[in-house]
Chains A and B, each alone.
Chain A
Amino acid sequence: MAEEKTGNPEQYTSQGILKTVFSRLKRNENLYLAFTNPKVVFGISLFSAVLLFALLGPYFTEYGINEFAGIGSPASRAAPSGEHPFGLTMQGYDVFTRTVHGLRATILVGFVGGLIASFIGLIIGLIAGYRGGMVDEFLMGLTNVFLTFPQLPILIVVAAYLPYRGIIHMAVLVGLVIWPWTARAVRSQTMSLKNEEHVALSRISANSTPRILIEDIAANMFSYIFMVFILQYMGTIMATVGLEFLGLGPTRGVSLGLVMQHAVQSGALYLGYWWWGILPGLFLMLMIFSLYFLNTGMDEVFNPELREL
């Protein structure tokens, strides 16, 4: 605070700003450690790059997702070129166009589905961990049941009967199935937090249970919840893409899984159209890869035991 009051002229130069940013970050030790951890920095950079690619990609193509862009043999026109950086499909669609639009849809589903799953898991985990006893037994039984279920088959059976599936339908469907991971993780954190003094104090002050859960417990595992959200985001994306690949994705529009399903169904791999099957999935893989790094890095930041100092 002191340096702001003196009105140091240096604070307006770029170096000065950087200095203030770092001094502020240093006050918040965790944030400082996060932004100086190479794994976190690498993860965030790669993730942002894929995100930017999905956001800006559509502005770099002149074709629509179902627009005929030209046709040719895999050896000549259909192969990746300056005009079609990701090549063409057998039907003459531009793979780049379909990839960026599909990636957008997949990221959206992952985000919404991840939020839903984290939310359900958070509530169940908080209540089970805080209440204990029979409530805990029941909720954890439920969690274990959902954990034993293979996710994709259950999603297939439900999705197969749905006549219309939008992006939000998909997100809700997947979110409703994959929450148990969060519930388990949040429960164990809650159990270790609920015996802390500040929670006891809050209880003596006659604060309501929801308030204690939100202000005294959930607020204290924010970093943890964030990491859980990342995991659920990854889980949603993996499950969604699997469904899309089986032809059970959104009924309208294009998705990454759908592009690859078409490639496999058309025998693209045997006919030499490798870009059609491999390039769309590459961005998905890079995104998940970056998040793994981000999560491992954050684990090091928030679990001092793992820190490499």
Chain B
Amino acid sequence: MGKYFGKKLIIYIITFFIAVTINWLAPRFIPGDPVTSLLAQYQGPAAGRQMLETRLRTLFGLEGSLIQQYINFWANLLRGDLGRSILQFPREVSEIVKNNIIYDIAVLLPAISLSWIVGNKIGAMAGENEKIDRYIMPLFYGFVSSPYFWFAIIVVFVFAHSLGWFPTARAYGAGVRPAFTLNFIIVFLRHWFLPFFTMFLVGLGQWSIGMRNMVIYEIESNYANYLRSLGARQKLIRNYAFRNGVLPQVTGLAIQLGQIVSGAITVQVVFDYPGLGRLMYQAVQQQDFFVLQGAFLSLILMVLAANFLIDIIYMFIDPRIRLSYSEEE
């Protein structure tokens, strides 16, 4: 089991290392110098332009040899310094990121876990029940075939515009101040619901389809046939099939996480709901490169942390890994 964890950990460390390196490489080696493109927006006296250019070059860390630049980049990062926003100048990127990441977690954590649990249940039912399979599954295939943002557009149109049940834009109303009052919590939940609902529905389709295929495969397998020939009740076979089907779904969760987070970026843009995704989008539009890089790195860290969490959970529910652990001891 130590080996299992060690291998995973190495992969996570390399992934993080590559992410940081991409952040470092992007402004330096991709054609299209960010300093020039930022300077293009400057309309002032030439002397100021010169000053601004040296200032920007220092900010991007473009001074000294490449190796020196790379080491400085890591040193700053390990100190927790993600740079400062260009647009909201003195504000630190790490602070902006901190204010946004709460909303990502508030939407994604319940949406992913709930859709996973409910999806597995529905999928297992569909694997056995012809009617559910025939009528609900095509709908779910429709869900997973939709780009997240397109699905969000439909949800906005139906629930926010046509029915007018929920507000969109921002995490709470414009005139409301965050406080621990019932009023604020209701306002917050009403804004939170639609982004959550969108992520939940797409996820529901995804996990149901996965579980359905898994259960169909398990029910036809040799051990299930053997149980049947022994005269076991259908319910018992169903339980075994479910338990065997859940394991690949946990692995699937780790693999799909990147996809889901990617989808959440576009969903936040549609709902104009805060989060790292909307932050990245705004940073791209305003060419605020440090915010873009900081948000990117935080997203990667978030995904890696979640992956690690899933690894731990997997270890607890897969008897093979758990047992090999106790044998080692």
B141 touches A277 (CB 8 A): no
Q: How many residues of A contact B (CB 8 A)?
A: 46
A-B contact pairs, 15 of them (CB 8 A): A149-B19, A149-B300, A149-B303, A151-B259, A153-B299, A156-B265, A160-B26, A161-B32, A241-B147, A245-B266, A247-B285, A260-B149, A270-B160, A284-B147, A288-B145
Q: Which of A121-129, A139-147, A215-223 contacts B (4 or more CB under 8 A)?
A: A139-147
Docked pose: A153 CA to B265 CA in angstroms: 8
A149 touches B15 (CB 8 A): yes
Docked pose: A154 CA to B262 CA in angstroms: 10
The residue that A278 contacts in the complex, of B153, B216, B281, B303, with Cβ under 8 A, is B153
The residue that A161 contacts in the complex, of B34, B150, B154, B280, with Cβ under 8 A, is B34
Binary interface encoding of chain B residues 246-275 relative to chain A, with 1 for a CB under 8 A from any of its CBs, else 0: 000000000101110111011001100000
B153 touches A247 (CB 8 A): no
B82 to chain A, nearest CB (A): 14
Q: Which residues of A contact B216 (CB under 8 A)?
A: 306
**In chain B, what residue has the closest Cβ to A265?**
B269
A interface list, Cβ under 8 A from B: 141, 144-145, 147-154, 156-158, 160-164, 238-239, 241-242, 245-248, 260, 263-264, 269-270, 272, 274, 277-278, 281, 284-286, 288-289, 292-293, 305-306
Q: Which residues of B contact A281 (CB under 8 A)?
A: 146-147, 150, 153
B236 to chain A, nearest CB (A): 23
Is B100 at the interface (CB under 8 A from chain A)? no
**SS class, residues of chain B in contact with chain A:** helix
Q: Which residues of B contact A242 (CB under 8 A)?
A: 147-149, 262-263, 265-266
| Residues A264 and B270 in contact in the complex (CB < 8 Å), given A144-B11, A153-B261, A242-B265 | yes
Docked pose: A161 CA to B144 CA in angstroms: 31
B85 to chain A, nearest CB (A): 15
Docked pose: A289 CA to B304 CA in angstroms: 30
Docked pose: A5 CA to B147 CA in angstroms: 54
B97 to chain A, nearest CB (A): 13
**In chain A, what residue has the closest Cβ to B18?**
A145
Is B208 at the interface (CB under 8 A from chain A)? no
Q: Which residues of A contact B144 (CB under 8 A)?
A: 292
A86 to chain B, nearest CB (A): 15
* Sample of 14 more A-B contacts, CB < 8 Å, known A150-B299, A157-B292: A148-B303, A148-B304, A149-B258, A149-B300, A152-B261, A152-B263, A154-B19, A156-B296, A158-B30, A239-B262, A263-B153, A269-B156, A272-B161, A278-B150
B15 touches A162 (CB 8 A): no
A156 touches B257 (CB 8 A): no
Is B73 at the interface (CB under 8 A from chain A)? no
B324 to chain A, nearest CB (A): 20
Candidate in B15, B18, B153, B285 with the most chain A CB atoms within 10 angstroms:
B153
Within 8 A of A (CB), among B123-166: 141-142, 144-150, 153-154, 156-157, 160-161
Is B61 at the interface (CB under 8 A from chain A)? no
The residue that A150 contacts in the complex, of B150, B281, B303, with Cβ under 8 A, is B303
Docked pose: A203 CA to B243 CA in angstroms: 42
